[in-house]
Amino acid sequence: MKNRLKVLRAERDWTQAELAQRLSVSRQTINAIEKGKYDPSLTLAFKAARLFALPIEAIFSDEPE
């Protein structure tokens, strides 16, 4: 799954640890999502969408990388 998490995080000058804390997950989870090695749960995707005030589709895409 493609995602824009790293770009959105960088735009806000947040570290992976800061984003992880805001989403109540580990830094390793953020790292894995950003690298495309882990697909977030629907709950986590909704949390990220609320945090960035964007629709889920603006952050995550099911198109192959």
Q: Using one digit for the tens of pLDDT, what is the confidence trace for 13-29?
A: 999 999 999 999 999 99
Task: Kindly state the average pLDDT of the residues 44-57.
Answer: 98
Q: How confident is the model at residue 32 (pLDDT cuts 50, 70, 90)?
A: very high
At 39, list the tokens. 């697909």
Q: Class of 2-51 per CATH?
A: mainly alpha
Residue 65 has pLDDT above 60, yes or no: no
Residue with tokens 């959105």: 8
CA gap 18, 33 in Å, rounded: 15
Residue with tokens 């005030």: 53
3-state secondary structure 9-46: HHHCCCCHHHHHHHHCCCHHHHHHHHCCCCCCCHHHHH
Question: Helix 42-52 crosses helix 16-23 at what angle (to 10 degrees)?
Answer: 110
